[in-house]
Amino acid sequence: MIEVAVRHAFDDLAIDVEFVADSRCVALFGDSGAGKTTLLNAIAGLLSPQQGRIVLDGQVLFDRAGQIDTPVAIREVGYVFQEARLFPHLNVRANLLYGARARGRPVDRFEAVVELLELGALLGRRTPSLSGGERQRVAIGRALLSSPRILLLDEPLTGLHREARVQVLEHLRRLKQALQIATLIVSHQPDEVVALADEVILLKAGQMAGRLDVAAFGRSQGL
């Protein structure tokens, strides 16, 4: 379960969002500039909100009033960005193992994740030679193998061409079925949200504009 209360004023946008979620996959849905990435950054520890509190499975990650700001490296959060951000000097295997090794963790589920993401044939490849979809699958695998308690996906399909987008979406669906991992996904594509999420939080101009189960969300989008 994640409890999020974030209040943060930028020059041209004030974010004020509060929710508690315990669905397996929650989508943050809203227009560009609504504050979706800012919320993920606050959960990951990349942004310290001016006010707020973030609690993951009972552990306080951030509490402005209580002066708690857990460092990024020990938050146990896996983050997949819009662009894969792989290490170009490492091959796919080393990229996949990077997060777990950096945290001094044993790597569990390596074979399962490699199989689910169909990365077996790519393990020895240098990452600059990969396609966009392959790169994003490696980024997802790397985040999962760091044994996160929550996976944050920030528009993971946005930079991909149509065919790769369909494939990676299918991989994400498989992962969701096979692994029990809480996920927050940012998207402004309704079909992605319907394919992956259980619940949808609507954001508009830094505020929560609603909250729907995924069936109601799909109907609201004509899907």
Ligand X SMILES: Nc1ncnc2c1ncn2[C@@H]1O[C@H](COP(=O)(O)OP(=O)(O)OP(=O)(O)O)[C@@H](O)[C@H]1O
Neighbours of 191 (CB within 10 A): 15
| Nearest-angstrom CA–CA distance, 51 and 4 | 11
Nearer to ligand X, 114 or 186 (CB): 186
| Least distance (Å) between residue 102 CB and ligand X | 25
- By C-alpha distance, which of 12, 11, 3 is closest to 42? 3
Nearer to ligand X, 36 or 64 (CB): 36
| Least distance (Å) between residue 170 CB and ligand X | 23
Buried b / exposed e over 13-40, threshold 16 CB at 10 Å, is eebbbebebebebbbbbbeeebbbbbbb
Would the CA dihedral through 13, 19, 21, 26 be positive or negative? negative
Nearer to ligand X, 134 or 192 (CB): 192
User: How many Cα atoms are found within 13 Å in the side-chain-facing hemisphere of 43?
Assistant: 34
Nearer to ligand X, 47 or 123 (CB): 47
Phi, psi of 137, deg, nearest 5? -65, -40
Residue 38: strand pairing partners? none
| Least distance (Å) between residue 205 CB and ligand X | 9
| Least distance (Å) between residue 13 CB and ligand X | 4
Which residues contribute to the site for ligand X (CB under 6 A)?
A: 10-13, 30, 32-38, 188
Nearer to ligand X, 39 or 130 (CB): 39
88's tokens: 């170009």
| Least distance (Å) between residue 3 CB and ligand X | 19
**Do residues 175 and 109 make contact, with C-beta atoms less than 8 angstroms apart?**
no
